[in-house]
Amino acid sequence: MISIKLKDGAIKQYENKIMVFEVAKSLGTGLLKGACAAKIDGNLVDLRTTIEKSCTLEILTFDDIEGKKAYWHTTSHVMAQAVARLFPNAKFAIGPAIDNGFYYDFDLDRSINNEDLIKIEEEMKKIIKENLPIEQFRLTYEEALNLMKKNNQKYKIELIEELSKNGENLSFYKQGEFVDLCAGPHLMSTGSIKAFKLLNCTGAYWHGDSSGPMLQRIYGISFPKSELLKNYLEALEEAKKRDHRKLGRELELFDFFEEGQGFPFFLPNGMILRNILEDFWRSEHKKAGYVEIKTPIMLNKDLWLRSGHWEHYKDNMYATEIDGIEHCIKPMNCPGGMLVYGGSLHSYRELPIRAAELGLVHRHELSGALHGLMRARCFTQDDAHIFMTENQIESEILGVMKLIDKFYSTFGFNYTIELSTRPKDSMGTDEQWEEATNKLKKALAVNGKDYKINEGDGAFYGPKIDFHLEDSIGRTWQCGTIQLDFQMPERFELTYVGEDGEKHRPIMIHRVIFGSIERFIGILTEHFAGAFPLWLSPEQVRVLPISEKFHETIKEIENKLKNFGIRASSDLRNEKIGYKIREAQLKKVPYMVVIGDKEVESNTISVRSRKDGNLTQMTLDEFLNMLNEEINKKEIK
C-alpha cells in the first residue's frame, strides 16, 4: 500500500505503484486538465513519474511558478518543432522557460523576420491541433551522441559531452517526429497549449560568449486561456509606453551612448531626481541610527581573495595593474566595509554599528544582457553593513524590515518577501548556514508578513531575505535584500571586546533598500510613467503667460516660487497657450500656472494640475501652501 500526502494534508492510499498524472486524475478531471508538473517530497518531477513508495505530493498548475515554467518549456519545444519543419537545416541550441515566457536559440542560414515568425506561429497551431503525446525516454552517452550526430546537431553534441561527466543516462523528450535533449518536466501533450504568441527575435551568443557563434533567439509567451494572453499583450504594450529608456530621453533624465555601453549618463533633470532620492535616503538612515562611510572604488587582488569574491565572482570583475600589483574595481562594497570596521578596536558597548554607503560598483555584464538602468555595468548600491552580537540579530533584522517598509510605502509600492537559502556554490559549514537560516526565519515570523522560500538562491556567503516590489502595471522587481553573514567577519578576522574582556567575532548583516539608485530610478520612471509625485518631480511648476504683456508678472511669480523652494520655470516663447500647456503635459510637469488679464485684475493665479487638467483660481499664497503640504506629506496623486 502506498500512502500519498497531498498539499492540503489529505492522505490518499493506492494499492500499487501509480503515475503522477493518474493521481491527479483520481482527484478530479479539473485538476488533471490543469496539471503541469508535480513535486514529490519537494523534488520537481514530470507528470509521467511513477510513484513507487509513500511520499508527499504536490500537483503543480499554471498558478504555480514551476507549473508555469513547465507550460512555457513545453511551448518552446512546440516552437522548436515548428522551426524544424520550416527550416530542415536548423541547428538547435537551448530553449528554456524564463521568468516571463520562453525562448529557443537556433543556428539558421538566414535571419528570421516578422513574416517568418507568423509562419512559425501557424505551424505551431498545427502541431497543437495534432495533439501529439509528449514522451520521455533516456539514452546512454553513446546512444545520445549517435542520435545527435545522425541529426547533425552540433550544439546538442556539445551539451551531451558536458552532461556525460556525471555518468548518468541522459533525458530526452519526443513529440511526433521531434526529439530534443531535455530534463523536463513537460505537459502530457502538445494539445495542452491553449494560447501563445511569439514576441520577437534577437541575436544571442552561444553560451553567452561573444567569441562564440551568434545564434537567433526567438522569444514567446503562452497561457492556458486566451483572455490571459490578451491581458498580457495589453500589459506589454503599456510597458512599452512606460519604457524608462524612452522616457529618460524624452524627459531629459538620463541617456546612453555607444561610447560607453552599459554606463548611464545622468542629465540635469535626472540629477535633481537622483539627489532628492539620496537626500531622502540619508535623512531616513540618520533617523535610524546609521553612520555614512565611503570606500575606494578600486582595491588590490589580495582583498578580493580574502573576501571570496575572486573565487566566486571574478568573471564579473574588471581588473587592472597598478605598480605591478593586480587591482580590481569593486563589484560590491562589502570588503571595503570590512576594512573600515577592522581598522579600529570595538567594544560590545558600541554594537550594533550600522555603517551605510552609497557606493559606485562595476560589474562586467554581457552586452546582450544590458537593459538601460535595469541592467547596467556601473551603478550605485545603497549598501549598509551592520556589525552586531549574536543576541542582536533578530532586533536588527526587524529594524531593517521596518526601514524597508517605510521606504517602499513612501513610494506607494506593495511588495512580497522571499527567503533565499544556501546555493550550491557557497562558503561556510552546514551548521553556520542552518543557524543563519533559522535566525532569518525567526525574524520573519516575528515580522508577521507572509513569505515564500526560494531554495538555493542565497548569496555565496549567507542566506537572505529578498523584497519584490509590485509596480503600477503588476510587474515585480527585486530590490531590497537582507543578508545574514557569518563568513566575512571570519575571513577578515573582525572582533569586538565582550563584557568578559575577551575578543569575540561579530555577526554581520548586508542590506540594500533601493538595490541600486540607478535601477530604482528606472523602476520609478516606469511605475509612474514619468509622471513623478510632486516631491520627486525635477520640474514642479511651469508658469505660462497668455500673451507677451504678462512676461514681467510671470517672472515675478517664478521667482517667488523659487524663493519658496519650488522647482519652477516659465515658458516665454511666442506660442499659443494651448501649445504651451501640451508641452508641459508631455514633460509631465505636475502643475501649470496660467496668467492672463483675469488673473492680473483679481490678483490671483489659475492653476492647472497634470492629473485632471481643470483650471482653479486661487491666490499665490494659497498655491504655495498647497504645494508645501503635498511635498511634506510626499503625496502620490
- Asked if the structure places residue 359 within a domain, the reply is yes
On the question of pLDDT at 8 being above 90, the answer is: no
What does each C-alpha distance from 28 to 17, 149, 193 come to in angstroms? Answer: 19, 44, 20
Rounded to whole angstroms, the Cα distance separating 415 from 479 reads 10
The answer to whether residues 54 and 71 belong to one domain is no
Q: So what's the pLDDT on residue 471?
A: 86
**CATH number of the domain to which 30 belongs:** 3.10.20.30
Rounded to whole angstroms, the Cα distance separating 309 from 330 reads 10
Q: What is the mean pLDDT of the chain?
A: 92
The answer to whether residues 137 and 219 belong to one domain is yes
The answer to whether residues 34 and 127 belong to one domain is no
The answer to whether residues 37 and 85 belong to one domain is no
Q: Could you tell me the end-to-end alpha-carbon distance of the chain, in angstroms, rounded to an integer?
A: 62
Rounded to whole angstroms, the Cα distance separating 291 from 354 reads 6
Q: Which of 61, 81, 99 is the last residue of a domain?
A: 61
- Just list the catalytic residues: 334, 363, 381, 383, 385, 464, 510
The answer to whether residues 370 and 519 belong to one domain is yes
Range with lowest mean pLDDT among 20-34, 73-87, 260-274: 20-34
Q: Which amino acid is at 7?
A: K
**CATH number of the domain to which 628 belongs:** 3.40.50.800
What does each C-alpha distance from 191 to 7, 176, 183, 195, 413 come to in angstroms? Answer: 27, 12, 20, 11, 39
- Asked if the structure places residue 301 within a domain, the reply is no
Number of domains in the chain: 4
- Rounded percentage of the chain residues whose pLDDT exceeds 70: 100
The answer to whether residues 359 and 443 belong to one domain is yes
**CATH number of the domain to which 144 belongs:** 3.30.980.10
Contact between 215 and 202 (Cβ < 8 Å): no
Q: Could you read off the pLDDT of 290-312 as tens digits, one per residue?
A: 999 999 999 999 999 888 888 87
The answer to whether residues 158 and 116 belong to one domain is yes
The answer to whether residues 107 and 193 belong to one domain is yes
- Asked if the structure places residue 490 within a domain, the reply is yes
The answer to whether residues 415 and 500 belong to one domain is yes
Q: Could you read off the pLDDT of 198-237 as tens digits, one per residue?
A: 999 998 888 877 778 899 999 999 999 999 999 999 988 9
- Asked if the structure places residue 318 within a domain, the reply is no
The residue among 440, 435, 443, 450 whose CA lies nearest residue 395 is 443
Q: Could you read off the pLDDT of 419-471 as tens digits, one per residue?
A: 999 888 787 788 888 888 888 899 999 988 899 888 888 877 788 999 999 88
Q: Specify the DSSP element, H or E, that contains 454.
A: strand 452-454
The answer to whether residues 548 and 517 belong to one domain is no
Q: Could you read off the pLDDT of 93-139 as tens digits, one per residue?
A: 999 999 889 999 999 988 999 999 999 999 999 999 999 999 999 99
On the question of pLDDT at 568 being above 90, the answer is: yes
Mean pLDDT of all residues in 527-534: 96
- Local structure of residue 206 (DSSP, 8 states): G
Contact between 379 and 508 (Cβ < 8 Å): no
**In the β-sheet with 178-181, what is the strand arrangement from edge to edge?**
134-139, 170-175, 178-181
The answer to whether residues 228 and 277 belong to one domain is no
Q: Could you read off the pLDDT of 356-388 as tens digits, one per residue?
A: 999 999 999 887 778 899 999 999 999 999 999
Q: So what's the pLDDT on residue 166?
A: 67
Q: So what's the pLDDT on residue 457?
A: 82
- Asked if the structure places residue 247 within a domain, the reply is no
**CATH number of the domain to which 372 belongs:** 3.30.930.10
Q: Could you read off the pLDDT of 401-421 as tens digits, one per residue?
A: 999 999 999 999 999 999 999
Q: Could you read off the pLDDT of 604-634 as tens digits, one per residue?
A: 999 999 988 778 999 999 999 999 999 999 9
Q: So what's the pLDDT on residue 165?
A: 67
Instruction: Report the DSSP pairing between strands 568-570 and 541-545.
Output: parallel
Q: Could you read off the pLDDT of 344-359 as tens digits, one per residue?
A: 999 999 999 999 999 9
Q: So what's the pLDDT on residue 532?
A: 97
- Rounded percentage of the chain residues whose pLDDT exceeds 90: 75
The answer to whether residues 476 and 578 belong to one domain is no
Q: Which residues of 333-348 are buried (b: 16+ CB within 10 A; e: fewer)?
A: bbbbbbbbbeeeebee
Q: So what's the pLDDT on residue 209?
A: 76
- Asked if the structure places residue 312 within a domain, the reply is no
Q: Could you read off the pLDDT of 156-202 as tens digits, one per residue?
A: 999 998 887 666 789 999 999 999 999 999 999 999 999 999 999 99
- Asked if the structure places residue 256 within a domain, the reply is no
Q: Which range marks the domain in which residue 52 is found?
A: 2-61
- Asked if the structure places residue 248 within a domain, the reply is no
